[in-house]
A and B are shown apart, each in its own frame.
Chain A
Amino acid sequence: MDKTIDITLKIWRQHDRKAKGAFETYNLKGISTDSSFLEMLDVLNEQLINEGKEPVVFDHDCREGICGMCSLYINGHPHGPDTAVTTCQLHMRKFHNGDVITIEPWRSAGFPVIRDLMVDRTAFDQIIQAGGYISVNCGGAQDANAVRIPKKDADEAMDSASCIGCGACVAACKNGSAMLFVSAKVSQFALLPQGRVEAARRARAMVAKMDELGFGNCTNTGACAAECPKSVSLSNIARLNREFIKAKLKD
């Protein structure tokens, strides 16, 4: 069962924020198709360390698709060619013997490269700090039927909340727009009664922060949703637009 493949990697190497980066080519032999993409990179780094070279820097944490830490732009797709999975859930069985795999960092003015494949995504934290929370007192845990929420809304809110904040939407967008991320965060609250209280303030503050940090204007190409590892829907963006326009018209 243990099938192995030989591959060639073209990886973006960049020493620090200011340095000019370039692609380096590496050959890897005998990679198990059962290994994950990140395990394959671990093998590469092991090899580099043994050769006395600097290992490739890349972000990763939970390796089970929920933390949003892994990134990588693989062969022209954020999180690689598979759909609706993060890089850590991508497996080498998606590749073939002799493949050349190009691995790049997220490229966007809002996400500057820190080193090699690792980018600075603290801009997303700043957007969340601007309003991606509930500050009103919701009281203690209530009976499930005390606050009645239509099933449809509960489901939509849950789908929006599945955003892990990895930044693939920004990486995929030709405009470097963060609208899918911001709209998912605004939606998960706007759909529920506890979140509605501050809905207008939240939309205003998060969009203002997003603009201030230099993310682009959304032109509705839909590349974000197509590449999102959690399949967050474009309908969130329509909702954010609606919330924002309503808030501004009320001012």
Chain B
Amino acid sequence: MWLTNSSIGRKVVMSISGLFLVLFLTFHMCMNIALVFSEDAYNAVCKFLGANWYALVGTLVLAAGFLVHIIYAFWLTLQNLKARGSDRYAVNVRPDTVEWSSQNMLVLGIIVILFLVLHMAQFWFKMQLNEIAGVAPGINPHDGATLVIEVFSCPWMVLLYLVWFFALWFHLTHGFWSAMQTIGINNKIWFNRWKTIGNVFVTIICLGFAFVAIAIYIKYGLMGAGGVC
């Protein structure tokens, strides 16, 4: 099967799964924005994406997307380390045109997973999992707004999440155009176009996430009860 036993095939899997995750992030960011304007609107989305069959199928597909991306990430990186050989250069200079992020995708990815674990514990565990398995009795799985407000009233949490978005931004400023290059829809003209489109797009996504975290902190943490951590 060429998607596992050829280098380009493996990269295609990386690219498609990465783009799928970008699509998910786009949707997630849009949904978060709703919270800044209306808790009810946000909770309506939470309820819609609760324990219905379509939300569960969506969650499974998403989890599979993450799993494939992560497994391939480690697999490719290990193969690449081996291809590099055990002797390292004594002097190594990164050319100006080479992005730092492009050489550290695995490190950035690992930062993203670590925060993802925290994020899942703070929300998914208390919402969807709670609804289907009752793991956190006493918490209303449909009241996402309250959970988010609780988390982002604490300035440390806001700061942690901002670090997360920053790592994600680095991952995606390279990842976006790289994905286009990998599936072959690139050439001399589109090279800079994809880079620009990617930079603008992922900056909007990451700023969107950051905006919600900061806005909730200001609205509820700073102006409301004060930073409860």
Residues of B within 8 A of A (CB): 2, 5-12, 76, 79-80, 82-85, 87-99, 102-103, 105, 174, 177-178, 181-188, 191
**7 extra interface residue pairs, beta carbon distance < 8 Å, beyond A217-B80, A218-B11:** A175-B84, A217-B10, A218-B7, A226-B97, A234-B191, A235-B191, A245-B183
Nearest B residue to A110, CB-CB: B83
What 0/1 pattern do residues 9 to 42 of A give for CB contact below 8 A with B? 0100000000001010000000000000000000
If over half of A's interface residues share one DSSP class (helix, strand or loop), that class is named, otherwise mixed; here it is: mixed
> Chain A residues with Cβ under 8 A from B79's Cβ?
216-217
Interface size of A in residues (CB-CB distance below 8 Å)? 53
| 28 pairs from A and B in contact (CB 8 Å cutoff) | A73-B89, A76-B91, A76-B92, A102-B90, A102-B91, A107-B88, A108-B84, A110-B83, A113-B87, A172-B95, A174-B84, A176-B80, A215-B83, A217-B7, A217-B79, A219-B76, A219-B102, A219-B103, A219-B178, A220-B181, A222-B99, A226-B95, A226-B98, A233-B188, A235-B187, A235-B191, A238-B186, A245-B184
Residues of A within 8 A of B (CB): 10, 21, 23, 73, 75-77, 102, 104, 107-110, 113, 172-177, 179, 207-208, 210-211, 214-223, 225-227, 233-235, 237-246, 248, 251
Q: How many A-B residue pairs have CB under 8 A?
A: 148
> Chain A residues with Cβ under 8 A from B102's Cβ?
219-222
Q: Residue A104 contacts which of B7, B89, B191 (CB distance < 8 angstroms)? A: B89
Nearest B residue to A241, CB-CB: B184
Nearest A residue to B87, CB-CB: A107
Q: Residue A210 contacts which of B7, B95, B183 (CB distance < 8 angstroms)? A: B7
How far is B181's CA from A244's CA once the two chains are assembled, in angstroms?
A: 13
